[in-house]
């Protein structure tokens, strides 16, 4: 199963199950050393930058993202 397939399936879970899965995944990352964690974050940043460079239309202005996040809190 590819990452995209796994992500797609995980997003089909109900919110409680997704939260439980997210917690489990985050806990698994705590076992990483600082160096390993930094490397993982750098790789993720590079992946996201490459995706945005290839698909600039998929990006959203930061102001819109922040507005939407604030709206969800209320």
pLDDT tens digits, 8-65:
999 999 999 999 999 999 988 888 888 998 999 999 999 999 999 999 999 999 999 9
Contact 29, 40 (CB under 8 A): yes
The model's pTM is 0.50
Residue 32 has a pLDDT of: 85
What are the structure tokens assigned to 57, written together?
């239309």
Residues in the chain: 74
Contact 58, 51 (CB under 8 A): yes
Residue-range domain boundaries for the chain: 1-31, 33-74
């Amino acid at each position: 199963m590819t990452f995209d397939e796994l992500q797609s399936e995980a997003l089909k879970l109900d919110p409680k199950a997704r939260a439980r899965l997210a917690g489990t995944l985050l806990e698994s990352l705590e076992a990483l050393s600082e160096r390993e964690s930094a490397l993982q974050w750098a790789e993720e940043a590079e992946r996201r930058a490459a995706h945005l460079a290839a698909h600039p239309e998929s990006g959203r202005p930061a102001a819109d993202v922040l507005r939407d996040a604030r709206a969800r809190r209320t």
